[in-house]
Amino acid sequence: MIASKSAEFVNQVVGAIREVVGPGPVALHEPSFDGNEWLYLKECLDSNYVSSVGKFVEQFELLLASYTGAKYAISVVNGTAALQIALKLAGVNSGEEVLLPALTFVATANAVSYLGAIPHFVESEESTLGIDVVKLREYLSGNTEEQSGLCTNKSTKRVIRALVPMHTFGHPSDLEQLLSIARDFNLVLVEDAAESLGSFYQGQHTGTFGLLGTLSFNGNKTITTGGGGAILTNDEALARRAKHLTTTAKIAHKWEFDHDEIGYNYRMPNINAALGCAQMEKLPGKISSKRELFKRYEKEFKLISGASIFEEPSNCQSNYWLQTLLLEDDNLDLRDYVLEASNKEGIMTRPAWKLMSNLSPYRNSPAMSLEGANSLYRRAINLPSSPVLSLGAR
Ligand SMILES: *Cc1c(COP(=O)(O)O)cnc(C)c1O
């Protein structure tokens, strides 16, 4: 049985969400196709250029590069594949470790595993929802040593090759400190920016700070290509290798099939890129709507004590991909009641991901202490976040 005071809190929270989203069933994040999607798709079908060759792929890559400020963008089949290839290009070898937050979507850890490498889970903190840079620095100082210019885990004796921050629900991590940690401990920085297209840290787009960064265009992300992803980099040689590796490592030739290494069939089909081009045209509007939606949630939740809506970190401009309610410690046991009550009403809300260190494939992976990540996991609830909701009751 839930105490009446708690029941009242749950009712208040669900009421506040309802006030923002209006009546009827509401999804967590819906795509919208209100631009040139049909036009560009028709062009693909009419021309027969639906698959791996066609003008939309190059166009989409140019649009991504120009919007993010990355010198190069290479589009691929999905965000997980983008991260796998980015990590490979960053020099991650089988048997090495890669640092990444325990509080992330499973794709971040899986991409590491696909290379035969081992994810090493890192603590998160509340001001960014990303890696706790203070605790990480302290942890690396105590638990690693430099050997021939490489960071080595003192207890497993394995090389720790890379550091992969993830910009949680679209909010930029503390990139300045992360870059400094990467420099001091000889780690390659690769950003999982799957959730943060349209999010800027000190005016620079997320995913462009590391040697490489990756995006996702899955159906629930800020823009979608059905399924899709991209690798961002400023390094021309890496960009060329990314394209080569993701297009079966085929050497260009009029008819001969010659491949100079084991490549991957990871390129984005033209039909998906066509969607991407149309979606990119609408990106600025989607983001201002999502930022507007944050303000509407903020106004409602100011009236409720015991929970608050997460605001972008200072010096950052966030895309507010998924709006996030954080329960205060007193109410953390009420998370599942809020999830239950809202979903029962047709309002789709979701908890944050179970920590990677608690998933059966990763239970034995190395990890630092994760109190902060665990607290966030227990207190966070994602709220309906589609751009269309910024317009108020429909
Ligand atoms: C969406 C997402 C990805 C990539 O997902 P795909 O479905 O493979 O495009 C990777 N990391 C995070 C944190 C994500 O949210």
pLDDT of residue 3: 86
Contact 64, 280 (CB under 8 A): yes
Residue 340 burial (CB < 10 Å; 0-12/13-18/19+)?
middle
List the residue whose alpha carbon is closest to atom 5 of ligand 1.
79
Cβ(194) – ligand 1 distance below 6 Å = yes
Residues 129, 112: Cα–Cα separation, whole Å = 21
> Would you tell me how many other CB atoms lie within 10 Å of the CB of residue 92?
24
268 φ/ψ angles, rounded to the nearest 5 degrees = -80, 130
Task: Give the residue ranges of DSSP H helices in 302-366.
Answer: 335-344
105 CA → ligand 1 middle, Å: 7
Token pair of 339, please? 């999830």
Mutating to test ligand 1, I would choose from 87, 218, 246 the residue with most ligand atoms within 8 A of its C-beta, which is 218
pLDDT of residue 393: 52
Residue with tokens 């394209």, as numbered in its chain: 243
Residues of the chain with CATH 3.90.1150.10: 4-32+283-391
Residues of the chain with CATH 3.40.640.10: 37-281
Cβ(382) – ligand 1 distance below 6 Å = no
Contact 152, 146 (CB under 8 A): yes
336 CA → ligand 1 middle, Å: 25
Cβ(317) – ligand 1 distance below 6 Å = no
Q: What is the domain class of 4-32+283-391 according to CATH? A: alpha beta
Cβ(321) – ligand 1 distance below 6 Å = no
- The gap from C-alpha 83 to its chain's centroid, in whole angstroms, comes to 11
Residues 196, 97: Cα–Cα separation, whole Å = 25
Residues 142, 139: Cα–Cα separation, whole Å = 5
321 CA → ligand 1 middle, Å: 13
Contact 197, 191 (CB under 8 A): no
Residue 359 burial (CB < 10 Å; 0-12/13-18/19+)?
middle
pLDDT of residue 394: 47
Cβ(79) – ligand 1 distance below 6 Å = yes
353 CA → ligand 1 middle, Å: 12
pLDDT of residue 53: 80
Residues 336, 149: Cα–Cα separation, whole Å = 47
Contact 207, 178 (CB under 8 A): no
155 CA → ligand 1 middle, Å: 31
Nearest atom within ligand 1 for CA of residue 195: 15
Residue with tokens 């720790």, as numbered in its chain: 160
Cβ(174) – ligand 1 distance below 6 Å = no
Token pair of 388, please? 């269309």
Q: How many residues comprise the chain?
A: 394
Cβ(107) – ligand 1 distance below 6 Å = yes
Which amino acid does the sequence have at 75? S
Cβ(130) – ligand 1 distance below 6 Å = no
pLDDT of residue 331: 85
Q: What is the pLDDT along the chain (394 residues), one digit of tens a residue?
A: 688 889 999 999 999 999 999 999 999 999 999 999 999 999 999 998 888 788 999 999 999 999 999 999 999 999 999 999 999 999 999 999 999 999 999 999 999 999 999 999 999 999 999 999 999 999 999 999 999 999 999 999 999 999 999 999 999 999 999 999 999 999 999 999 999 999 999 999 999 999 999 999 999 999 999 999 999 999 999 999 999 999 999 999 999 999 999 999 999 999 999 999 999 999 999 999 999 999 999 999 999 999 999 999 999 999 999 999 999 988 889 999 999 999 999 999 999 999 999 999 999 999 999 999 999 999 999 999 999 998 875 4
Residues 248, 260: Cα–Cα separation, whole Å = 9
Angle at 51 (CA atoms; ends 48, 57), nearest 5 degrees: 105
Nearest atom within ligand 1 for CA of residue 83: 10
40 CA → ligand 1 middle, Å: 25
Cβ(108) – ligand 1 distance below 6 Å = yes
Q: What is the domain class of 37-281 according to CATH? A: alpha beta
- DSSP-based three-state secondary structure for 328: coil
325 CA → ligand 1 middle, Å: 21
Nearest atom within ligand 1 for CA of residue 220: 1
